[in-house]
Amino acid sequence: MLEKTIRNLFLTYPRVLYGFTDTSYSSYAGIYQSALVFAVPYGEQLTLETYTEEKFEKGIQDARKVVEEILAQLEKILTAQKVTYYIPPVAQNNETDLEAPFSFKFAAVNAGLGWIGKNDVVITKRYGPRVRLSAILIDERFAYGDKITKSLCPETCRKCVDACPHKALYNIRWNIDSVRSDLIDYRLCNEKRSMSVKTLGRKHACGFCMAACPFGI
């Protein structure tokens, strides 16, 4: 009943990808049985040819509005059905380990939405990396998606690696046992993106490594 209601909600968002996964890989295992993870495409699906930082940031913000709208509707459904849930924060809560308490990326991989590209972001077949991820932890069981364990990046593709202006990517193909530091110098990426905080009032959206990806275009 709950699953059907949630699936019906997503029927009204045909562009949004979603799936369910258990939480055994996370620190929330034993508290919430499942995670619902979804991927909202960025407002404009940019390539390197059409990329500007402002357009990229706007695409992210447009997707964010849709994420918030969907989360509000999910909260209504779950509250009405008296189901325990928790919306984990999007971003890392400190600038040292740069890790969020619940990894949306890992949830997306476990739910079968995509794999991790050489650019260390989730790559979906439909939109490539041009999606904003969100997740909600729910204390119920659902029909889970098929976990993806290997990269579907073509072996020879290195478009994201070459597009990174700071050489933060290592040209490594992900698999389920990979850790983030195998793929990316994430501190360097964060440090470079943080340089714009003084001028823009926010981190630089950057995203050259996403605009370069041939998936989804």
The residue ranges that bind ligand SF4 (CB under 6 A) are 117-119, 123, 153, 157-160, 164, 166, 168-169, 184, 189, 192, 206-209, 212-215
Comparing CB distances to ligand SF4, the nearer of 37 and 122 is: 122
Q: Nearest distance from residue 212's CB to ligand SF4, in Å?
A: 5
What phi, psi does 39 have (nearest 5°)?
-125, 115
For the CB of residue 205, give the shortest distance to ligand SF4 in the complex, in Å.
8
User: Minimum Å distance from CB 208 to ligand SF4?
Assistant: 4
Of 181, 210, 48, 28, the residue nearest 110 (C-alpha): 28
Smallest separation (angstroms) from ligand SF4 to the CB of 163: 6
In 3D space, the residue among 116, 114, 115, 123 whose CA is nearest the CA of residue 217 turns out to be: 123
Nearer Cβ to ligand SF4, position 37 or 168? 168
Between residues 105 and 159, which has the closer beta carbon with respect to ligand SF4? 159
Q: How far is the CB of 76 from ligand SF4 (least distance, A)?
A: 35
Closer by beta carbon to ligand SF4, 29 or else 217 = 217
Nearer to ligand SF4, 141 or 167 (CB): 167
Residue 111 corresponds to which tokens in the numbers above? 């739910």
Q: Which residues pair with 35 in a beta bridge?
A: 21, 137
Rounded least distance, CB 188 to ligand SF4, Å: 7
**Which residue, 63 or 189, is less far from ligand SF4 as judged by CB?**
189
| Position with the least CB separation from ligand SF4 | 117
